[in-house]
Amino acid sequence: MMNAITVIGASWGGLQAMETILGSLPKNLAIAIAVAQHRHKDSEGELVSCLQRSSLLPVVEVTDKQAIAPGQVYLAPADYHLLVEPGHFALSTEAPVAYARPSIDVLFESTADAYGERAIGVILTGSSQDGSQGLAKVKSYGGIAIVQEPTTAVSRIMPDAAIAAVVSATILPLPEIAPFLVKLCSSSFFTSSSG
């Protein structure tokens, strides 16, 4: 059985939110984290270097067919959709979804298909509704849905849309998301990898 995976979606204000979360995660975190952050299609590696300054975990930009390993932070490259398949990632240049590539919905929906109840979806600050459908699919497949408390977001449009789509989501202020993830990851449910 595969280890769990956490997928995080962010847009406007996402860099600061991601720095807060990654800065509070231990370097021995037992699961992988994949991030779809809306950004300009011409942006190079600035996002990786910015996040790496805050993170004890290695931060890498995903390459196609890259294996998924625990204790790593994987970023969707600019202008590519990031998809999760059992044990590895895939990149796609299919048309933008809701004007976004990378699309948070594409990342979350593919994660729900590949990981089912071992998926954790996190929606952070953002000024679009991208991610709400994907988070709903993560939840409906038995995964865990987490949304940033809208009053702690730079833009509350994305968290509000996610809360409307997933009424049973766990809603947390930004500083409480990382501790909650650590607690989830230390539970035997997410760290058992037999079979």
Mean pLDDT, residues 106-115 taken together: 98
Omega of the bond leading into 58 within 30 degrees of 0 (cis): no
Check residue 110 and give left, alpha or beta (phi > 0: left; psi -120 to 50: alpha).
alpha
Length of the chain: 195
pLDDT for 187 beyond 80: no
- pLDDT value of residue 194: 38
Catalytic residue check, 105: no
Q: How confident is the model at residue 129 (pLDDT cuts 50, 70, 90)?
A: very high
Active site residue 38: yes
* pLDDT for residue 57 is more than 50: yes
pTM: 0.95
Position 99 scores a pLDDT of 87
Among 41-45, 123-127, 133-137, name the one with the lowest average pLDDT: 41-45
The residue from 81, 103, 110, 130 that is catalytic is 130
The pLDDT value given to residue 190: 56
Domains and CATH numbers, the chain: 5-191 (3.40.50.180)
Catalytic residue chosen out of the listed positions 24, 38, 81, 155: 38
pLDDT average, residue stretch 155-160: 97
- Would you call 81 a catalytic residue per the annotation? no
> Which residue(s) pair with 81 in the sheet?
92
